[in-house]
């Protein structure tokens, strides 16, 4: 593998997507646990989730915008194909994003615990469940090769061109996997956020259940990939890096579960984030060198070099502002918690 400019930038897009999944993914997961808030401490659970999300969710959300902007600037051919073929699930996902964000802020700033606030809480929770599934379905559709491989023609039916490519059992499987992963991340993070309170046990139980769900769904998706995403499955089973990848993912998953079991929550947080990261990069590696298999490679979709060079400079300059600012944000709200 030679590191051309396009591949370096594709790597950066993956890093941004990775950050989105680990940070904003957990925010969606928070909404899932808001939906499943149960028992005597249900209000306390919701308050903790809301408190954990409030200062950071908007910054976390911007990672998605960065991914989109990099995609249309650096890989315009891929972006336009995705935008055409996945118009419907992306539009539905946007509705979810709008409703989730608005409902969260409406709930936070509504008057105290009244009926309207509860309704907004419901909207927030349901949108938090639906949006990750749609995001996962879009990823799944790309992995099957249906997005890169379907040629539009005026004679083709609407369903065969704009619905069937993404509405597949495999796509739904990946959507559910995304939902399970996000819920898992959120529950694990919340065990750390709830340190010293009885809520910690609530989220520990939830994290363990979510880990189980991830395990079951992941195997289901793998089974479905046999027929539906053969190229990706082949690479995942037989690629040169396949075995090491499965080993590190497995180690991370087991570590996360053992750490949760033995109540070492900070270790569990690191392990859970690592597990999700490995799964994401496993998908990227399985698709390499394709951006949209089976036709569009990273190289063939790339913008002219001059654009890529300038974007690299812009990213470097942007990172100099972004990374210290992000560090500051998380230091103020996440590290100084107990002070």
Partner 1 sequence: MRDILAARSQMGMSLAFHIIFAVVGIGMPALMVIAEYRWRRTGDAGYLELAKRWARGTAILFAVGAVSGTVLSFELGLLWPEFMKQAGPVIGMPFSLEGFAFFTEAIFLGVYLYGWDRISPRAHVIAGIMVAASGALSGIFVVIANAWMNTPRGFTLVDGKFTNVDPIAAMMTPAAFPQTLHMTLAAYAATGFAVAGIHAMMLLRNPRNAFHRRALSVALLVGAPAALIQPLAGDVEARYVARQQPAKLAAMEGLFQTMRGAPLSVGGLPDESARRTRYAIEIPHGLSLLAFHELDAEVKGLDAFPRDQWPPVAIVHLAFDVMVGLGTFMALVSAAVLLMLWRRREIISLRWLMIAIVACAPMGFLCIEAGWMVTEIGRQPWIIYGILRTADAVTPMPGLIVPFLTFTALYCFLGIIVVLLLYQQVLRSPREDETFPQQAEPA
Q: Which of 5, 251, 329, 334 binds partner 1 (CB under 8 A)?
A: 329
Q: Is residue 332 involved in binding partner 1 (CB under 8 A)?
A: yes
Smallest gap from residue 85 Cβ to partner 1 (A): 9
Which residues fall within 8 angstroms of residue 285, CB to CB, at 6 or more apart?
A: 235, 239, 241, 245
- The residues near 160 (Cβ < 8 Å, ≥ 6 apart) are none
**Which listed residue (2, 151, 158, 196) binds partner 1 by CB under 8 A?**
158
Nearer to partner 1, 69 or 270 (CB): 69
Taking the CB of residue 39, how many other CB atoms lie within 10 A of it?
8
Backbone angle region of 54, left / alpha / beta, with phi > 0 → left and psi within -120 to 50 → alpha: alpha
- Specify the stretch interacting with partner 1 by CB under 8 A; choose among 178-186, 208-216, 282-290, 305-313: 305-313
Of 69-77, 130-138, 199-207, 240-248: span binding partner 1 (CB under 8 A):
69-77
Based on the number of CB atoms within 10 Å of its own CB, is 10 exposed (0-12), middle (13-18) or buried (19 or more)? buried
Which position among 8, 38, 43, 87 is part of the footprint of partner 1 (CB under 8 A)?
Answer: 87
Q: What is each CA distance from 3 to 6, 9, 78, 289, 310, in whole angstroms?
A: 8, 10, 20, 12, 17
- Show the binding pattern over residues 98-127: x = contacts partner 1 (CB under 8 A), - = does not: xxxxx-xxx-xxxxxx--------------
Tell me: does residue 310 bind partner 1 (CB under 8 A).
yes
DSSP state of 104: H
322 scored as a contact of partner 1 (CB under 8 A): yes
Helix (H, G, I), strand (E, B) or coil at 296: strand
Measured CA to CA in angstroms, residue 6 lies from 149, 234, 304, 311 at distances of 22, 25, 9, 11
Contact 100, 31 (CB under 8 A): yes
Stretch that binds partner 1, among 82-90, 131-139, 198-206, 225-233 (CB under 8 A): 82-90
8 binds partner 1 (CB under 8 A): no
**For partner 1, the closer CB: 73 or 234:** 73
80 contacts partner 1 (rule: CB under 8 A): yes
User: Whole-number minimum distance, CB 294 to partner 1, in Å?
Assistant: 20
Q: Does 167 engage in binding with partner 1 (CB under 8 A)? A: no
CA-nearest of 286, 164, 172 to 220 is: 172
**Interface with partner 1 by CB under 8 A: which residues?**
54-56, 58-59, 61-62, 64-66, 68-70, 72-74, 76-77, 79-84, 87, 90-91, 94-95, 97-102, 104-106, 108-113, 152, 158, 162, 303-304, 306-307, 310-311, 314-315, 317-318, 321-322, 325-326, 328-329, 332-333, 336
């Amino acid at each position: 593998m030679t590191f051309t400019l396009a591949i370096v930038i594709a790597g950066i897009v993956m890093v941004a997507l990775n950050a989105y999944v680990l940070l904003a993914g957990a925010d969606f997961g928070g909404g899932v646990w808001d939906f499943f808030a149960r028992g005597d401490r249900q209000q306390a659970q919701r308050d903790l989730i809301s408190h954990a999300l409030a200062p950071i969710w908007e910054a976390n959300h911007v990672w998605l915008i960065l991914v989109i902007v990099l995609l249309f600037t650096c890989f315009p051919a891929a972006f336009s194909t995705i935008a055409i073929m996945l118009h419907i699930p992306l539009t539905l996902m946007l509705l979810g994003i709008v409703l989730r964000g608005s409902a969260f802020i409406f709930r936070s700033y509504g008057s105290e615990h009244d009926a309207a606030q509860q309704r907004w809480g419901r909207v927030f929770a349901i949108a938090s469940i639906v949006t990750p599934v749609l995001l996962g379905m879009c990823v799944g559709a790309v992995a099957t090769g249906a997005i890169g491989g379907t040629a539009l023609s005026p004679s083709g039916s609407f369903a065969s061109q704009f619905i069937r490519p993404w509405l597949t059992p495999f796509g739904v499987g990946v959507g559910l996997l995304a939902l399970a992963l996000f819920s898992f991340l959120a529950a694990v993070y919340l065990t750390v956020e709830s340190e010293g309170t009885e809520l910690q046990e609530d989220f520990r139980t939830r994290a363990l259940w979510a880990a189980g769900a991830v395990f079951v769904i992941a195997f289901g998706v793998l089974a479905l990939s046999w027929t539906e995403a053969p190229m990706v499955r082949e690479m995942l089973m037989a690629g040169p890096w396949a075995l090491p990848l499965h080993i590190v993912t497995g180690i991370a998953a087991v570590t996360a579960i053992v750490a949760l079991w033995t109540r070492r929550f900070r270790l569990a947080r690191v392990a859970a984030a690592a597990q999700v990261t490995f799964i994401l990069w496993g998908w990227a590696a399985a698709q390499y060198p394709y951006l949209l298999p089976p036709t569009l490679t990273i190289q063939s979709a790339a913008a002219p070099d001059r654009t890529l060079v300038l974007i690299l400079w812009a990213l470097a300059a942007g990172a100099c502002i972004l990374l210290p600012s992000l560090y500051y944000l998380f230091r103020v709200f996440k590290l100084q918690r107990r002070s």
